[in-house]
Structure 1
Amino acid sequence: MLQRILDSEPDLSPSQIAHIQQQLYQDRNTLARLRQELVLCLSDITIVGVEKTQGIQFFSINGQGSGYAPDNSVPLIAQRTLILRVYVDCKRVQQQGPQHLPIHISGSVIVDRIRTNGSVTRVATLKPINGPIAARSSASIDRGDPNHTLNFRVAASDCQGLLRFTVTVFEQGPVVIDDVLGAIYAPRPSERDTWLPGSATTTAAAPAAFSLKVHGRFEPVPTFRVQAVLVHYTGGGQNLPAPTGFDFADTLEYVLKTFPIGRLEFEDCIEIDFDKNLSTCGGGCGPGFEGPGGLMVILKDLDDSSDRPAIRVALIPSDARMCVGGCGNKNIAAAQDGRGATLAQEMGHALDRKHAPYAPGWEQEEPPFPQYGDYPLGSIGEYGFDVVTSEVYDPNTSHDFMSYGSDRWVSPHTYVGLRNEIVERFSDASFAGLADGRFSPSGDPSQETLFLSFRVNRDGSVEVHPSFHLPARAQPPDHTSTSDVSCELLDGKGQVLGFHRCRARGSHVDPDGPHIDFHEAIPWVDEATAIRFLRNKEVLHLHDIEALAPTVKLPASGLRSSEQRLTLKWEGHHPERAVTYLVRYSRDAGRTWRVVAVNSSKSECVLRQRQLPGGEQCLLQVVASSGIRTHVAQTKPFSVPSEPRSATILSPKSTSETTSTGQALLRGGAFSSDYGLGAPEDVVWSSNVDGVLGRGFELIADGLSEGAHTITLTAPDGQGGVATASAVLRVVLPD
């Protein structure tokens, strides 16, 4: 009737037309709701919700969920595996008596990509990874049981852009089919899906089947860069070999499951010798980590003197005796081999995440951790889901990995916070800001910067540790809270050349402890002769800067190369002070630098050529510090051949693994320092038994045939060839 009025009355005023259109919209919504209720009443089987999770998600059913935010409001990350948990209500279960045979539910999902021009492309048709499941009423669904929902896995390589999921569920079992009315279903607002006009429909096409269309939009997140620092540990009377790159990848697996990472890229991996005692406690993480020459100091120097943003992660042998499990600070983290949850916490600190509470009386840090409903303090707040194993983490017993609680997983608070920090830290806009000087007060993208390390003791005394100054790209804005400590650069007449307010960093900083360590980046002025340290404007210490910088002499013969190794030796000297060194490498005539050796008192460096990206104008640079003043010497240009990508399979292992489920996690890729990691769609997995399995850096292969499989990964090597790796997998299916 209202539509007829609009069509037949040309003299209606704009306000009358708007009122009628609004009434039409409301009436159509009411009709859609009535149709929905009719479908739900007449259908024996209905979908009451679809949870879209990549590890953690807001969702509420039967009081299971925090209700802290709308359903499915944790953002979806591009190139990250997605699980659709389909919640099914079966009325027939309530109607039948105890003598009826059990009913089971199965289903399928059709995945379509909707492009910006409106075209639709078929991506995949999925079977459930756990079906069929026992039918039940919606009131009896336990969100903590993975087999109370039909679960569908969407491959990471498919999770990009806008996807439409057509979810169909149906009964399997000895049931009687009655006629049922087909109807159109409009989505409930609480489902918070990305609905497209005219496409959100559900059809009860048969009494034992039900279909629902939902959508997911995947947000691109910058590539997450990690540099592995493998520690050969000789401290505390031990002599433990460094973990391997495969050990690092295994320990990182927990991080990959819980961090909002779509694409991971490894920087070059380096190995260091470390002889400080990590088992000595006191002063935050302990002097072995944060004292002079400590592991965190080495990592900080490594980060300060490298051009490419990355999280520098030290992996310590699993048998090392340690006072704490690990340590983390901005851009740097350290943990023991095999302790994935600890590494996740320390890498969280590297991305400025604070500790989460885990017991009453825990002092909250800013910003405060949310209280999720009636769940315990520090709970993950929602039901976590391991997309590889289908293990569910119960918020009644599972704590956020940024806490010291039990059965740790990730909360929405930490997950979204990490996503925001990764976007800011690694985005192209941040790189552009670094390159064009946008974040530098002077606008100079390579401002000479003093990387100053010092300790303030409880009594106010100050110890200055070996520091250096280099041309360095300015950093993006630092959100770490400032402390009451500051420092000034002074000239020979005591005039202030520069002022800097220091920041309180570190995951274990105790303001009432015996000391606090600082690592600051300060614009350097050559005329500086002293550094004045202050606390709340009270002078704590005046440190005289040595008058002379050290000298470094490189051999006239240059580098010595043998069996894919480069050896560089030099002579360093200072008349009064000890000299410490770091060595940097450039493939592009000094435009960018990466550190290859750090915090060394030795005047020699041995490098493996395979770890160095190739180029025709390569340089090695020795940076020598006598405390503050720094001297730089570099080699003449030399060439290093480019290396093609080398393929690596991280899972399954190279030795035979066995699965009894017909399902296997495939993880790997092809990398070289010259050509990087490549695109995920270029990585192809295949089996000599079942043929092509899929694409991507990570793939969960379902429905594998019984028997021995040779799993092969292939990817372009960057030089026109193909990089290949293989592993053996044995599938033994239950009888």
Structure 2
Amino acid sequence: MEIRETSLLFPETEGEGPVTASTTLSFPRRVRRVAAGIAGYTARFEDNEDHHLGRLEVEVSGRVDDDDDTIVNVRGVFGLRDWSNEWDDPYSGVIDVAVLAELSPVSTPQPGDARGDLIIVDAESSQVIQHFRSSDHLAPPNVFPDNSIRLIASKPTIVRLYPDYDASSGLPVIASLNGELVVEGNGTVTTLSAAEVITPRRDVATDRGNRGHTLNFVIPENLCLGTLTLRGKIFDQSDPTQFSEEFTRTITFDTQPALRIMAVGIEYTGDDIVDDATDTDLAAPSEADFVDVFDFTDTLYPIPDVEITTYQTMEYDGATISDISNGCDELGDMRDAVGDLRGDSDDIVYGLFNVGVDTGSVGGCGGGGVGVGRIGNGGTAAHEVGHALGRKHAPCDNVTRCAQPLNTDGGYPDYSGYDSDSIGEYGVDPRTWYARVIDPANGHDFMGYSGGDWVSPYTYKALMGAIPIPDAGGAAFSTARASVPRRRDNEWIRVKQPKLFLRLDIDRTGNVVVHPSFHFPAHPRPLPSTPTDYTIEFVDEEQRVLSSTCLNTDDDCCCGCGCGEGATCRSVRIRQAVAFPTDAKEMRLLRCDELVDSWPIPDPPHVEVEVDCNGKYEEYHKENQVTIRWTVSDYDSTDPEATSDDRGPWALVQWRDRSGTWRGCAPRTRENEVTVARSSLGTEKEIHVRVLVTTGIATGVGEWSGPCGELAEPSSPGAPQVDIVAVPRGENRAELTTNPRAVVVGPRIGKRGNIRWHGSDGGELGRGRTLDLSRLPVGQTVVTASVVGAEDQVAPSHWLLERTGHNRFFVLSGDQHPDDPCAPPDDPDDGGHDHPNNGDSEEEDSDNEYEKG
């Protein structure tokens, strides 16, 4: 007699009942008789109101399929009503089902036939996190259908096959189980081998948290497109003629835009530095540092790629020592300075500072499309970009495990007894060749502070709709835009319209400070996460209201009730793009419809711009300088700072890229000129710059366009090159715990091409950004990552890697051999340690940071 367990999910329902749900179970041979019983159930009213229970209906049944007698169809009926006996309340539930099946006797298989005691019962498809058999460890409303988290195109996918093996069948015993997965689609057929051999067991004994209980396969990103048909087969490791019936599953990938990042390396020139900090410790991080720090974000986010769209540097001399109990604290000002560089771009702007900067207990700050963080902290980068995209903190219920952050997400799910910021579901790490499993018992959402960073289904699904979609400018842009449904009625047309990028602070006593703000056309920007009871409105000369906008903040516990009933409001920090009528003559701040303060809006000043290109622009990375100067007339300031000394009004300098997007090339300044590297103004021969000058609110604009130097030859030093990340640098022999990832680093190129990996013999090891280490032969291999199909020449990258007989992987760094980066080190000793291959222990994530903003 076979015993199988399954569950039936009944999502939220209102206005009807009882409702039905069904599933199927497969068995390795013919089912003679079957019975289904209720093993347990969960029922709840979704509106969380108190009800006098009226009637609960729970029913299950099982029957052998008419067309295939190895399949059992399970059906359930569920209904819940309160005392009114009407279906007027939303309800949901889960029924746990036990199925008893009497199977035909096992017979010795004929040559070429499958064994009758071995079967693949199910498959889990996951890229980072997935719903699968959720009812085994979660309760409604956190139970979702299996494999219901959508898969993202061009992102590596892990498929876990769940075997069921009856060792008591009388057939020769299988001690070790192996398998293969045939992936068919997009005109190709690829056969993948299982990452590890496992010990077979009954499905009811399978622990999803143990990778050694399933046969795991990594589908490389270059195959993860469109619709794929998967055909899996498992077999005796010692005798492949002893195998299971083929298991078939179809999976589909959805197109998502890349996460586009404007990278800003921050050179710190202020006073808040750590002891013994050197100039190197305060220098601006390089573009390669951004590639490294965003590797973790690339893994966790529902995106195909993190794309560094621009790279530039800036100086910052403000205070940075911060207290996490005050949110971002001083780092909020650094974030504002970096945010000036965003212009009208929809890209996320991220500033990276070096290890010598003392930031107290805050490691980063994010919000409003902007983030800053420390070099090397991948968890912080993922966290702050989450804030930049509007995500709040995951809650903390234990201060001995995590900090209790401000701006906590009140909607974060309560995952059935796990930590308050648990990921809830089981995650998988596609960076590892053996498919590391992350357990919800110790895996925490990266938007919290507990360490063990991973991502919950709640955060992952929310981010799917939060990634900015590029507007125009190439195939990547048009593909992402095409995936967005267009309204036939043209109810909303996405165009740039005048926005005032308002910076306004209100302290707890009600004092208001409007910092110099600029207005220029931009697309709609997401609102900060927390509403306030403040409103900004603009009026014309006749005091008619032209527009009114409710103000939001990225802080929480702000206005209205403070931090509890009757509590005094803390300070309110507003950084919001508000609609700006160009004929406005006054700006008013209201709280609950009562006037708090007002400011006149004069005519904008007149701005004239001139550019000195300072000679030829010969190479991308040489310090060719461009000086941009401006003069201002007809200036009538409402900004008290502008008249406090002899310096001029505040100005922003921006440049226009090939897609028509304006981006900042220097922080705001009160000087009348800036000098920037020619490379920060794009790679086109002709440049377009503009200078915005503000009176405090009214903004004047001056523009300049023209040729400015000559471009570098594509083959010259400093042209784009392939860089391999997730590979330790500067060590003679370092172990690899994750698959290497290659990216193109350097000036922006047109068509980015495709990355190919080749071994010492010239044979192809794989395609796409990630190299599957399991493809390496035992011994040392010179691995080359190169780009094919790009418009510009891209220099390849070479590394000497080693695979031991114990399935451990090492990078043999060539740093000590400057003439030959692939020359082996002097001592390639293996060390004799066995890599865990039974799934009983999992490595901790190395990107855990406590100091986040």
Q: 1: distance between equivalents of 2:193 and 2:731?
A: 27
Is it true that 1:675 corresponds to 2:749 in the alignment? yes
The one-letter code matched in structure 2 to 1:85 is R
Instruction: Using the TM superposition, give the Cα deviation of residue 254 of structure 1 relative to its aligned residue in structure 2, in angstroms.
Output: 1.6
Change in CA separation of 1:450 and 1:41 when aligned onto 2, cut-off 3 Å: farther
Is it true that 1:264 corresponds to 2:306 in the alignment? yes
Instruction: Using the TM superposition, give the Cα deviation of residue 338 of structure 1 relative to its aligned residue in structure 2, in angstroms.
Output: 2.3
Partner of 1:356: 394
- After alignment, is 540-549 or 593-602 more displaced? 540-549
Partner of 1:409: 454
The one-letter code matched in structure 2 to 1:56 is I
Partner of 2:362: 324
Q: 2: distance between equivalents of 1:27 and 1:665?
A: 46
Matches within 5 A, 1:6-155: 29-34=65-70, 42=106, 43-60=116-133, 63-64=136-137, 68-92=143-167, 103-113=175-185, 121-130=187-196, 132-155=197-220
Instruction: Using the TM superposition, give the Cα deviation of residue 535 of structure 1 relative to its aligned residue in structure 2, in angstroms.
Output: 0.8
Instruction: Using the TM superposition, give the Cα deviation of residue 83 of structure 1 relative to its aligned residue in structure 2, in angstroms.
Output: 0.8
Change in CA separation of 1:477 and 1:84 when aligned onto 2, cut-off 3 Å: same
Is it true that 1:232 corresponds to 2:267 in the alignment? yes
Decide which of 453, 475, 478 is 2:503's aligned counterpart.
453
Decide which of 773, 780, 783 is 1:711's aligned counterpart.
783
Q: 2: distance between equivalents of 1:271 and 1:478?
A: 28
CA contact (8 A) 1:453 1:519 kept: yes
Q: Which secondary structure does the structure 2 equivalent of 1:597 belong to?
A: strand
Decide which of 640, 659, 666 is 2:740's aligned counterpart.
666
- After alignment, is 627-636 or 609-618 more displaced? 609-618
Is it true that 1:599 corresponds to 2:668 in the alignment? yes
Q: Which secondary structure does the structure 2 equivalent of 1:157 belong to?
A: helix
Change in CA separation of 1:93 and 1:675 when aligned onto 2, cut-off 3 Å: farther
Q: Which secondary structure does the structure 2 equivalent of 1:466 belong to?
A: coil
Matches within 5 A, 1:419-458: 419-422=464-467, 445-458=495-508
Q: 2: distance between equivalents of 1:258 and 1:450?
A: 33
Is it true that 1:216 corresponds to 2:251 in the alignment? yes
Change in CA separation of 1:699 and 1:551 when aligned onto 2, cut-off 3 Å: same
The answer for unaligned runs of 5 or more in structure 2 is: 1-61, 73-100, 107-115, 274-278, 472-476, 564-568, 637-641, 807-831, 833-853
Q: 1: distance between equivalents of 2:331 and 2:550?
A: 24
The one-letter code matched in structure 2 to 1:124 is T
Instruction: Using the TM superposition, give the Cα deviation of residue 53 of structure 1 relative to its aligned residue in structure 2, in angstroms.
Output: 1.1
Q: Which secondary structure does the structure 2 equivalent of 1:55 belong to?
A: coil
Is it true that 1:335 corresponds to 2:377 in the alignment? no
Change in CA separation of 1:571 and 1:31 when aligned onto 2, cut-off 3 Å: closer
Q: Which secondary structure does the structure 2 equivalent of 1:422 belong to?
A: coil
Change in CA separation of 1:414 and 1:442 when aligned onto 2, cut-off 3 Å: closer
Q: 1: distance between equivalents of 2:526 and 2:430?
A: 35
Instruction: Using the TM superposition, give the Cα deviation of residue 386 of structure 1 relative to its aligned residue in structure 2, in angstroms.
Output: 0.8
Partner of 2:39: none
TM-score by length of 1: 0.79
Is it true that 1:499 corresponds to 2:548 in the alignment? yes
C-alpha distance after superposition, 1:151-193 (max 9, x if no partner):
111001101111111111112348xxxxxxxxxxxxxxxxxxx
Is it true that 1:399 corresponds to 2:399 in the alignment? no
CA contact (8 A) 1:656 1:727 kept: no
Partner of 1:622: 691
Decide which of 575, 586, 589 is 2:656's aligned counterpart.
586
Change in CA separation of 1:402 and 1:128 when aligned onto 2, cut-off 3 Å: same
C-alpha distance after superposition, 1:557-612 (max 9, x if no partner):
66555664132142555685342222211255x94322211223344433334454
Change in CA separation of 1:437 and 1:360 when aligned onto 2, cut-off 3 Å: same
Instruction: Using the TM superposition, give the Cα deviation of residue 236 of structure 1 relative to its aligned residue in structure 2, in angstroms.
Output: 3.7
Matches within 5 A, 1:244-283: 244-281=286-323
Change in CA separation of 1:399 and 1:211 when aligned onto 2, cut-off 3 Å: same
Instruction: Using the TM superposition, give the Cα deviation of residue 255 of structure 1 relative to its aligned residue in structure 2, in angstroms.
Output: 1.1
Change in CA separation of 1:354 and 1:636 when aligned onto 2, cut-off 3 Å: closer
Q: Which secondary structure does the structure 2 equivalent of 1:637 belong to?
A: strand
Q: Which secondary structure does the structure 2 equivalent of 1:395 belong to?
A: coil
Is it true that 1:699 corresponds to 2:761 in the alignment? no
Q: Which has the higher helix share?
A: 1
Instruction: Using the TM superposition, give the Cα deviation of residue 441 of structure 1 relative to its aligned residue in structure 2, in angstroms.
Output: 10
Q: 1: distance between equivalents of 2:349 and 2:733?
A: 34
Instruction: Using the TM superposition, give the Cα deviation of residue 673 of structure 1 relative to its aligned residue in structure 2, in angstroms.
Output: 4.9
The one-letter code matched in structure 2 to 1:586 is R
Q: Which secondary structure does the structure 2 equivalent of 1:280 belong to?
A: coil
Change in CA separation of 1:62 and 1:636 when aligned onto 2, cut-off 3 Å: closer
Is it true that 1:473 corresponds to 2:543 in the alignment? no
TM-score by length of 2: 0.69
Q: 2: distance between equivalents of 1:717 and 1:672?
A: 17
- After alignment, is 256-265 or 720-729 more displaced? 720-729
Q: Which secondary structure does the structure 2 equivalent of 1:296 belong to?
A: helix
| Percent identity of equivalent pairs | 25
The one-letter code matched in structure 1 to 2:415 is Y
Change in CA separation of 1:81 and 1:505 when aligned onto 2, cut-off 3 Å: same
CA contact (8 A) 1:504 1:518 kept: yes
Partner of 1:381: 424
Change in CA separation of 1:429 and 1:353 when aligned onto 2, cut-off 3 Å: farther
Instruction: Using the TM superposition, give the Cα deviation of residue 360 of structure 1 relative to its aligned residue in structure 2, in angstroms.
Output: 7.2
Instruction: Using the TM superposition, give the Cα deviation of residue 659 of structure 1 relative to its aligned residue in structure 2, in angstroms.
Output: 6.9
Instruction: Using the TM superposition, give the Cα deviation of residue 246 of structure 1 relative to its aligned residue in structure 2, in angstroms.
Output: 2.1
Change in CA separation of 1:77 and 1:549 when aligned onto 2, cut-off 3 Å: same
Change in CA separation of 1:667 and 1:499 when aligned onto 2, cut-off 3 Å: same
The one-letter code matched in structure 1 to 2:389 is L
Instruction: Using the TM superposition, give the Cα deviation of residue 245 of structure 1 relative to its aligned residue in structure 2, in angstroms.
Output: 1.9
Partner of 2:574: 518
CA contact (8 A) 2:720 2:794 kept: no
Q: 2: distance between equivalents of 1:501 and 1:47?
A: 56
Q: 1: distance between equivalents of 2:478 and 2:530?
A: 25
Partner of 1:181: none
Partner of 1:4: none
User: What is the CA RMSD across the aligned residues, in angstroms?
Assistant: 3.8
Q: 2: distance between equivalents of 1:40 and 1:458?
A: 77
